[in-house]
Amino acid sequence: MWPILCIGAFIVISITHWVHRWRNPKCNGKLPPGSMGLPLLGETLQFFAPNTSSAIPPFIKDRMKRYGPVFRTSLVGRPVVISTDPEINHFIFQQEGHLVQSWYPDTFTEIFGRQNVGSLHGFVYKYLKNLVLSLFGPESLKDKLLPQVELTAHKTLGLWASQGTVELKEATANMIFDLTAKKLISYEYDPAKSSENLRENFVAFIHGLISFPLDIPGTAYHKCLQGRKKAMKMLKDMLEERRLMPERCQEDFFDFVLIELKKEGTILTEEMALDLMFVLLFASFETTSLALTLAIKLLTDHPHVLKELTEEHETIVRNRENEDAKLTWKEYKSMTYTAQVINEVVRLANIVPGIFRKAMRDIEIKGYTIPAGWAIMVCPPAVHLNPAKYENPLEFNPGRWKGMESNGASKHFMAFGGGMRFCVGTEFTKVQMAVFLHCLVTQYRWTAVKGGNIVRTPGLSFPDGFHIRVSKKNK
């Protein structure tokens, strides 16, 4: 009897000690206030709980009230310090490569690949960044991408006008994916040649991207991993096919990759290249289609904003010698109010609920210590919806940006990241949105049919879609 009681007591004491250590992590200073939640699970379930508000997520808002702008928690098994403080966020972004480095949870690394650009640092990261800029940088945007984006928008809108109704999120995602996939890998889906649709594998991937990381058949996360696996196999097969046909020069990303892989002493590996292609395809169409869908929903709900936006674009057309001329880079750069609308849309969209870094050593800031090895999550929604900076922060008011257009990141605007990891595709995203809106408001009108409700889990989604009817304007 006594041995059993002793073993039982030992187990209880051990568990109690483990729980106590979990709730009270070691720190060579003062930890930010907060709760570590349940052992191993932490507060992951609360973080992923869906909500239908466009306000600061309840998980963040409740803890801000309880603990202040900086607090600790645990997500998917990792201790995390969450910052909603603009000054601390700015400091963290500026310390890339010194006090912090880019980091995402193991589940995200599993999804995006071990060699994805977000997990790479220093020289290798800069190298890949320059590789992307060679295709999507300013010169390519001006000379090649602008006319391609305009042509795609015209074709797409003409198709929509011939249909009864269009589910906007799905339709814009298809449009952007086709454009980006053609530019990156010269991919065009032909059902006569292949039953495998690359786009469908990305859809499966996206449905589980921001979900509870439970890899069991039937779960969204499992479907996400399966979607990635199939998409990566297709990309690998395409790259191999291109390698066997060197005489075919498409002037796309595959060509850049094959040239780089042949260079003596190159740091690029096939795994890095494939992971980069995967991330670029995902980032280009999923985030931009969400932003465009929300933009049209907000313009539908705010006719005075739509009127001012339309006037700007109709003025551009009227000022041309030939009204049917193609859009120029100068005209794009003249879209002042459009830039304000886009900034306001992405401020409210908060498509990225958190930007992660990892402390490389103990960080002392504002009286607190962030221990080495801990994750740091900068929270864009809390910054973008801060009433101290944005009056009536939930109101769609593009005019608030007048005279303060933001082309980069700031302490109070980080829709495209911050610091040295500011998104290299930012201008490409803005070009796509501005050009699409230009084609839409100058030649078409639309009416909402159904849907448009949003859910955040914590990322933005339209569970019922947003269905619209598009028709050609009478000249």
- Binding-site positions read 423
What backbone torsions phi and psi does residue 217 show, to the nearest 5 degrees?
-50, 130
Give me the amino acid identity at 322: N
- Listed in order, strand segments (DSSP E) in 120-279 are 166-167
Distances (CA, A) of 127 to 117, 118, 120, 132, 268: 10, 13, 10, 9, 9
What would the DSSP string read from start to end of 384-445? HT-TTTSSSTTS--GGGGTT---SS-BTTB-TT--GGG--TTHHHHHHHHHHHHHHHHHHEE
Handedness of CA 347, 352, 353, 358 (dihedral sign): negative
For residue 74, give both structure tokens.
């645990």
CA distance 288 to 429: 6
Assign residue 311 a region: left if phi > 0, alpha if psi is -120 to 50, beta otherwise? alpha
What would the DSSP string read from start to end of 430-444? HHHHHHHHHHHHHHE
Q: Summarize the annotated binding site for heme as residue ranges.
A: 423
H helix or E strand, kind and range, residue 11: helix 2-23
What backbone torsions phi and psi does residue 375 show, to the nearest 5 degrees?
-85, 150
User: 347-370 burial string, b = 16+ CB within 10 Å, else e?
Assistant: bbbbbbbbbbbbbeeebebeebbb
Helix (H, G, I), strand (E, B) or coil at 116: coil
Q: If you count DSSP H runs as helices and E runs as strands, how many of each does the chain have, helices first?
A: 19, 12
Helix (H, G, I), strand (E, B) or coil at 464: coil
Residue 273's closest CA among 120, 146, 160, 448?
Answer: 120
Locus of tokens 């999120």 = 169
In contact, 427 and 138? CB cutoff 8 Å? yes
H helix or E strand, kind and range, residue 358: strand 355-359
CA distance 134 to 144: 12
For residue 177, give both structure tokens.
């994916």
- For residue 358, the cross-strand partners are 101, 375
